[in-house]
Structure formats: C-alpha cells, structure tokens
Amino acid sequence: MAIRTVTADLPVDIAWMPRQEAEKKSGYRIYQGGAVPGREIRIVNIKGWDVEACGGTHCTRTGEVGIIKI
C-alpha cells in the first residue's frame, strides 16, 4: 500500500485555516498525531489518502519519498 502511494506521485497539499473550519471540513481525524495549538492550524492533505493537522516537514508530492525498504 505504501509503495503504491509513493509511486502514484500524489500531490501533498498544505493549507492554513481556522481550527473550526478544519474540524468542520475534515472532522477530528485531523488530530491523529495529537492536538495542535492555535486558532489557525496547518492542514496537510494527501487527497484520497490522509488529512492531518501537522507542523512538520513534508514533501510536495508522494513520489519524492523514493524507494521504501523494509
């Protein structure tokens, strides 16, 4: 599943929005990594795959991850 997502080279969209708007649009699943502080939060969205509030570093496309070895 991970390899398919990487090779699909999906866009990783990043947007800042008010917390209430983000919760209304995507629900509380945006806090899978834990609650984030602030009235305005950064939302990272890989369409059809995942959406989360996150302050970390991200690629602009899933293809930038490269080969996954386990």
What does the alpha-carbon distance between residue 30 and residue 15 come to, in Å, rounded to a whole number?
13
What pLDDT is recorded for position 45?
96
Q: How many other C-beta atoms lie within 10 A of the C-beta of residue 52? A: 20
Which sequence spans correspond to the domains of the chain?
Answer: 2-65
* Mean pLDDT, all residues of the chain: 93
Residue 1, pLDDT > 90, answer: no
Q: What is the pLDDT of residues 26-58, one digit of tens each?
A: 999 999 988 889 999 999 999 989 999 998 889
What is the fold of 2-65? Replication Terminator Protein; Chain A, domain 2 (3.30.54)
